[in-house]
A and B are shown apart, each in its own frame.
Chain A
């Protein structure tokens, strides 16, 4: 719909700009605050312009152990990346295989399997977190990447989405592949996966963000700073009463924590557009 009315134009632009400000201002404030030193942050209100530190605060949180954390932000970024990648890739691989089995194979209790997976859609991590913690502890998974990743690696949502996609693949394609001598693995590798490229890219973004933003689970399962994730560290940085909060370090860390998700979205977004342009099927 397009209405040619100047008044409406102005009003809608005003709303858009306000929303944009509301969204950008905190990011802007974080960015300017990260370029000040601690003293100046405590002597004035939130600064709207850059300070004299340049990128020095970023450099120091990345290279030196940060007070209260006991490790540098590089390590935290690495931990978070490993966790997010592990969760995203694991979820996608497992979902693809589970959906493949459910849609293309006839085996006993197939329906039951599907419904069991489907029901777990209703159980977010938080609901089962205590028993999961107990199991992880018993398996010696505390303070390890495996402990961070494994309990979150299966995804009913992704399985369900892949199932829905597979159901739209014409059955003749499978039959043609069978006649052409492609076994189940070949059919998956040569036909199904290339056809689900865009789905995989979309799910990867969603699942990477999901993994990156995990808070409660990494908080429970990691006690050593070597395995702490960056999202958990932010809370840690703010939360002690003994001295002043190092706002410049907090802001620099927060901005660094934003970068990988943004990068993933930007990179994958280009891929989406490409996928949409030569959408096949």
Chain B
């Protein structure tokens, strides 16, 4: 169990490419932090720097208040689960799990006991003598987890550990990882590009983009108050709709003529208006607060229906999430009313949220700030 503190961490690769431009983050004891962002944004780089597999170009990394910048991975007392599991192919499951203990000089009997205990915890008892290639993908994933757990590290690091599994197993393992992490109380950093995985796992989410942190916060905070257009578009599925809007007499006016009353105090003349698909509701009559749209595609999902619609003067189609099974078909005209209390306004140029004074403050626990 441990706290982590990242202070202005930068990474410049030997080829001159700067993958991380100063990452600040304080991670609390026992917290499960999920780092999420599009491919290539530097998530793996960050995780590998925490692990000690990649050198830290600048800044300071501390575990439990102790600077670990220059420590070897093994000395940092972390465990890592790799995307392709990286199990030792010639060793049995038991040897794979016990290898770190063996390197630490733990006596054989104790090693065996710990491995068996962990195997029971994650349901691997019957597979201890198998080789990795005799296991299914899900079982390998479990072994990789077991290998991390058995050493009782201070920090778990996961790099997209579920991306090689099928959808069902992914959901199952996701729940199990969350359960195990809470049960063991070990601080964990989990990297993924899958925002659903991120939302369901995280105590706090770190959204990254192009080597920067865009926002840190609980999944619900990020969902409800995304600090930037990037976060707004990344968190939530289907993604948020964005419309250009102008300010008119305290209301927002869309190019199509719709006016939306807003309580936001906005000083910009033109803004980017964000509306989540679930905050568009279908109405039967058009008025000046509704959007008149033409249906392009209907995705009935059972519990709800996704309607991809086109709004006049708008390049990107909008997506609306409508309750239950809806009698709509391609080509229909659909009247949609945005929920005025759940709008998001972003600066057109910077993409920053407009109504948020404390955009840059990352809600983090006071205790870990002491480090």
Which partner residue on chain B sits nearest A175 by CB separation? B53
Spot the interface stretch: A13-21, A130-138, A176-184, A260-268.
Answer: A176-184
Q: Give CA–CA (A194, B99) in the complex, Å.
A: 14
Q: Which residue of B48, B51, B82, B87 has the most chain A CB atoms within 10 A of its CB atom?
A: B82
Given contacts A179-B51, A179-B53, A195-B89, 16 further A-B contacts (CB under 8 A): A172-B82, A172-B83, A172-B86, A175-B82, A178-B52, A178-B53, A178-B72, A178-B73, A178-B74, A179-B52, A179-B73, A180-B103, A181-B74, A181-B100, A280-B90, A280-B131
- A residues 104-128 with Cβ under 8 Å of B? none
B-chain residues with CB within 8 Å of residue A179 when the two chains form the complex:
51-53, 73-74, 78-80, 100
Which partner residue on chain A sits nearest B83 by CB separation? A172
Minimum Cβ distance to chain A for residue B146 (Å): 13
Query: What range describes how many residues of A lie at the interface?
Result: 10 to 19
A-chain residues with CB within 8 Å of residue B87 when the two chains form the complex:
176
Asked if A281 CB lies within 8 Å of chain B CBs, one says yes
Leading 5 A-B pairs by shortest Cβ distance: A181-B74, A172-B86, A181-B103, A180-B100, A176-B86
A-chain residues with CB within 8 Å of residue B78 when the two chains form the complex:
179
Asked if B133 CB lies within 8 Å of chain A CBs, one says yes
A-chain residues with CB within 8 Å of residue B104 when the two chains form the complex:
181
Asked if B84 CB lies within 8 Å of chain A CBs, one says yes
Q: Give CA–CA (A181, B74) in the complex, Å.
A: 5
A173 B86 Cβ-Cβ under 8 A: yes
Work out how many contacts link A and B, with CB atoms closer than 8 A: 63
Asked if A190 CB lies within 8 Å of chain B CBs, one says yes
Q: Give CA–CA (A182, B102) in the complex, Å.
A: 9
Which partner residue on chain A sits nearest B80 by CB separation? A179
Asked if B88 CB lies within 8 Å of chain A CBs, one says yes
Minimum Cβ distance to chain A for residue B151 (Å): 8
Q: Give CA–CA (A173, B90) in the complex, Å.
A: 12
Which partner residue on chain A sits nearest B51 by CB separation? A179
Q: A170 is contacted by which of B48, B86, B147 (Cβ under 8 Å)?
A: B86
Minimum Cβ distance to chain A for residue B336 (Å): 48
- A residues 176-233 with Cβ under 8 Å of B? 176-182, 186, 190-191, 194-195
Instruction: Identify whether the interface residues of A are mostly helix, strand, loop, or mixed.
Output: helix
A-chain residues with CB within 8 Å of residue B147 when the two chains form the complex:
180
A-chain residues with CB within 8 Å of residue B51 when the two chains form the complex:
175, 179
A176 B89 Cβ-Cβ under 8 A: no
Q: B133 is contacted by which of A182, A194, A195, A280 (Cβ under 8 Å)?
A: A280
Minimum Cβ distance to chain A for residue B43 (Å): 16
Return the CB mask of A248-281 against B: 1 if under 8 Å, else 0: 0000000000000000000000000000000011
B-chain residues with CB within 8 Å of residue A177 when the two chains form the complex:
88, 99
A172 B84 Cβ-Cβ under 8 A: yes
Minimum Cβ distance to chain A for residue B103 (Å): 4
User: Can you list 8 A-B pairs with a CB-CB distance of less than 8 A?
Assistant: A177-B99, A178-B72, A179-B52, A180-B103, A182-B99, A182-B103, A186-B103, A280-B90
- A residues 65-81 with Cβ under 8 Å of B? none
B74 A176 Cβ-Cβ under 8 A: no
B-chain residues with CB within 8 Å of residue A194 when the two chains form the complex:
90
Q: Give CA–CA (A172, B85) in the complex, Å.
A: 8
Q: Give CA–CA (A179, B87) in the complex, Å.
A: 12
Q: Given A179-B73, A181-B103 in contact, is the A281-B89 Cβ separation under 8 Å?
A: yes
- A residues 146-178 with Cβ under 8 Å of B? 170, 172-173, 175-178
B103 A175 Cβ-Cβ under 8 A: no
B-chain residues with CB within 8 Å of residue A178 when the two chains form the complex:
52-53, 72-74
Q: Give CA–CA (A176, B140) in the complex, Å.
A: 14
Q: Which residue of B72, B80, B82, B86 has the most chain A CB atoms within 10 A of its CB atom?
A: B86
A-chain residues with CB within 8 Å of residue B99 when the two chains form the complex:
177, 180, 182, 190
Return the CB mask of B85-107 against A: 1 if under 8 Å, else 0: 01111100000000110011000
B-chain residues with CB within 8 Å of residue A195 when the two chains form the complex:
89-90
A280 B79 Cβ-Cβ under 8 A: no
Which partner residue on chain A sits nearest B132 by CB separation? A280
